Structure 1
Amino acid sequence: CIYQGLNLVTNENVAIKFESKTSNHPQLYKESQIYRSIEGAGMPKMYWYGAIDDYHVMILEMLGPSIEDLYNYCNRRFTIKTVVLLGEQMLERICHIHRRSVVHRE
């Protein structure tokens, strides 16, 4: 699960990912290692990874609104220019993680 949270020190929004310690396919630890290796180039900074109660937790920088939020803000219509610009940004980020020998499967 991913939630939006608030850094009480900086007053900035953060993304908080939770994974049950009893998950059949745990992935959050590996994901935290990947975030450490791909810092920069528009990638969210990982602030913390650890365990709280029955969950593994990762806290990430919130880079901005989600694409769905932008889509809703634009009355559920993107111009061709917006689609191209979003596509370019996505490809740049995928290339960045591939250069660090990470394969993205989502």
Structure 2
Amino acid sequence: MAENKRLRTDLDLAQQRIAELEAQVSTEAIPTLVLDPKATQGTEASKYATQNASLTSTSKPLSFAAVATKGKDAPAPKSKAPTRRRKTTARQMEAIHRRFVPVAAHHDYEYQAA
């Protein structure tokens, strides 16, 4: 019982001390983290360095309809089909025809007479 009573008084003292410390602490006393606006040296010389783009625009914001129709006037780029530089040889044509022969009705091995 005596130990229980002692622990309770210690707890009460600790809670009082916590309340005193919380009262002393003010938000102005806590230092705030101020980031240096300058980037670290070394990366600034790189052509891949981040650019400081201004996000503020002097023009008024565009409507949704204006943004949606912005790219509609430009025609779609036409892709040119690749052209062969050399004519397909007879041997290549034979290989192509062998590749696209229809599958036999049965799946057994079959000798081909040449």
TM-score by length of 1: 0.17
Q: Which has the higher strand share?
A: 1
Determine which structure has more spread, i.e. the larger CA radius of gyration: 2
